[in-house]
Structure 1
Amino acid sequence: MENANLNVLFQEKRQQLNHFASQFTTDYDEKEDLVQETFIRALKSVHNFINDPKLMTWLYVIMKNIYINQYRREKRKNAIYDEYIHTDYFNSVSINLTENKMIHDDILKALAGLPAESAEIFKLHLDGYKYHEIAEAYNLPEGTIKSRIHQTRKKLQQKLKMYQSS
Structure 2
Amino acid sequence: MRIIQNDFDKKIAEELLPLRNYALSLTHDLDDTKDLVQDTILKAYRYKSKFQEGTNLRGWLYTILKNSFINNYRRDMKRNTFLDSTVNSYFIDLPSHKIDNDAETKFIRKDLEDAIDQLSLDLKLTFKLNTEGYKYHEIAEEMQIPIGTVKTRIFVARRILRERLKEYAEVYGLQMA
TM (normalized to structure 1)? Answer: 0.49
- Give the structure with higher Rg (CA): 1
TM (normalized to structure 2)? Answer: 0.46
